[in-house]
Amino acid sequence: MAIVWIAIWQLCYWIVKQELLLASPFSVLKRLGELMIQSEFWKTVAISCLHIFTGFILGVFLGVLFAVLSAKYALFCSFLSPVMTIVKATPVASFIILALIWIQSARLSVFISFLLILPLVYTNTLQGIRKTDIKLLEMAEVYQMSAIGRLRYIYIPQVLPYFFSACITGVGFAWKSGIAAEILAVPKNAIGTMLYESKIYLETTDLFAWTAVVILLSLFFEKIIVRAIQFVGERWIRTGER
């Protein structure tokens, strides 16, 4: 099906016949090849990936931590609930513009990626904890299972599907929001900056080429996250069966 859509793209290019308005897939592919042999290209990609996934990891870590604290302490949950509601309801663009006042442009994508993934992981993990089978917890109480045993054999297997779902969904959101932050902040050596400059200087082929980079990297990292999650899940199941 991808070939069909590329053919439609090429057909649209023939109809428009304006490289400035619509670049052909062949010129985009050629430009992408030219970019990939430049060391500056890989430096730009590496910096954007590092910033966005630093935010992703921070969001995952604090999301899980806050979910555990909220499940244990009702007061903490009540305190945090309005904040999470506001974060989920506020448009990403608003946060980017506000954050530009307080944060350096080079660090903005870290903050925005973190901010987007945090409520997603928090909500899913908290839901998983709250839906833990009561009968299993009662059985653990009867047999005086240790706290570590409850965590390993009851809570984690029950919560993992919710957590994995949040990570799989969140990696795409974090990536797209991080690139959007770079476009508005225009930091040095960033994919978003290259997109912005391509648009400003009317370099349509470059704009399409960098957009292709964003799409390919998004698909690549989603695959990595899914594979990592499958690996961890299968390993945990095998460990639990021993």
Q: What is the pLDDT of residue 56?
A: 92
CA 221/CA 176 separation, integer angstroms: 12
Q: What is the mean pLDDT of each run of 10 residues along the chain (242 residues)?
A: 78 79 84 90 93 92 93 89 88 87 87 92 89 67 65 73 86 89 89 91 89 89 77 62 51
Look at residue 145 in the predicted model and tell me its pLDDT: 66
118 Cβ contact list (under 8 Å, min separation 6): 59, 62, 63, 66, 84, 87
Cα–Cα distance, 183 to 197 (Å, whole number):
9
Query: 70 CB contacts (<8 Å, ≥6 apart)?
Result: 76, 77, 80, 122, 126
Query: Which amino acid is present at 226?
Result: V
Instruction: For residue 57, tell me if it sits in a domain.
Output: yes
- Of 58, 57, 21, nearest to 228 by C-alpha is 57
* 8 A C-beta contact, residue 63 and residue 125: yes
| Closest to 221 (Cα-Cα) out of 21, 29, 27, 49 | 49
Structural domain includes residue 11 = no
Cβ neighbours for 142, distance < 8 A, ≥ 6 positions apart: none
Distance CA 193, CA 181 (A): 10
Q: How far apart are CA 125 and CA 110, in angstroms?
A: 22
Give, in order, the Cα–Cα distances in Å from 166 to each of 50, 87, 90: 20, 16, 19
pLDDT value of residue 221: 82
Q: What is the pLDDT of residue 143?
A: 61
Determine the pLDDT at residue 170: 87
User: What pLDDT, on the 0 to 100 scale, is given for residue 158?
Assistant: 78
Residue type, 8: I
Instruction: Retrieve residue 124's tokens.
Output: 């899913």
How many domains is the chain partitioned into structurally?
A: 1
Domain membership of residue 178 (yes or no) is yes
Look at residue 147 in the predicted model and tell me its pLDDT: 64
- Read out DSSP for the chain? -HHHHHHHHHHHHHHH--TTT---HHHHHHHHHHHHTSHHHHHHHHHHHHHHHHHHHHHHHHHHHHHHHHHH-HHHHHHHHHHHHHHHHS-HHHHHHHHHHHS-GGGHHHHHHHHHHHHHHHHHHHHHHHTS-HHHHHHHHHTT--HHHHIIIIIHHHHHHHHHHHHHHHHHHHHHHHHHHHHHH--SS-HHHHHHHHHHTT-HHHHHHHHHHHHHHHHHHHHHHHHHHHHHHHHHHHHHH-
- Domain contains 37: no
Q: Is residue 56 part of a domain?
A: yes
Residue 83 is assigned to a structural domain of this protein? yes
Count the residues in the chain: 242
Residue 233 in any domain: the answer is yes
Q: What is the extent of the structural domain holding 66?
A: 49-241
What CATH number is attached to the domain comprising 62? 1.10.3720.10
115 part of a folded domain: yes
